[in-house]
Amino acid sequence: MIIINTVKQIKSLKSQYQRDGPRRNVRLAVRSGIAVIFKKSPRFRFGKPRIVQSADIIDINANGLRVQYSSDNKWSTQFDNISIVGADEKSIIDDIYCKRISDCQVAQTSDGSYSRVCGVKFVKLSHKQKHQLNKFIQEYTVEPKHLTRWHVQFT
């Protein structure tokens, strides 16, 4: 996929959380092959959540993560929970309730789709999910000395 740099005005959703100074919690780069599935819960709590998008994780910490994805639209679809899945498409952590805090277009590809980066904040984590998340961070994050071009590009 060839990325075309655009000079057009880029539409983005600004972060609702303005911070003064450096980030409080360091984000850690995630090994390749780990993805996120964005899901939307059913309106009346009947049935399973609907899958709306998948994305590659760029980095993560205990409070949230940042992903890159492709979209046919300039704006992404709404979601309220995510699942983190491995390369084998098995769920590592399921049904993490979250809130999008930023979403911006970074490029338009040659096929007309949009490459976007989205920041997500975790909300209402259960004790089990906190434990799974800490274990995930220990097992699947990359040490700074082992970063690839992908990680350097988005840090």
DSSP string covering 83-151, please?
Answer: EEE-TTS-EEEEEEEEEEEEEEEEEEETTS-EEEEEEEEE-S--HHHHHHHHHHHHHHB--GGG--HHH
Q: What is the pLDDT of residues 22-74, one digit of tens each?
A: 556 678 888 888 899 888 887 766 777 777 788 889 989 889 999 988 887 76
Confidence of residue 134 (pLDDT cuts 50, 70, 90): very high
Residue 155, pLDDT above cutoff 60: no
Q: What is the CATH number of domain 3-8+30-150?
A: 2.40.10.220
Take residue 106 and report the two structure tokens written for it. 């970074």
Domain boundaries, the chain: 3-8+30-150
Please report the pLDDT score of residue 45 as a whole number. Answer: 67
- Tokens, residue 89: 């498409």
Distances, alpha carbon 137 to alpha carbons 68, 91, 109, 142, in Å: 18, 15, 31, 9
Residue 121 pLDDT > 90? yes
The confidence score (pLDDT) of residue 19 equals 52
Predicted TM-score of the model (pTM): 0.71
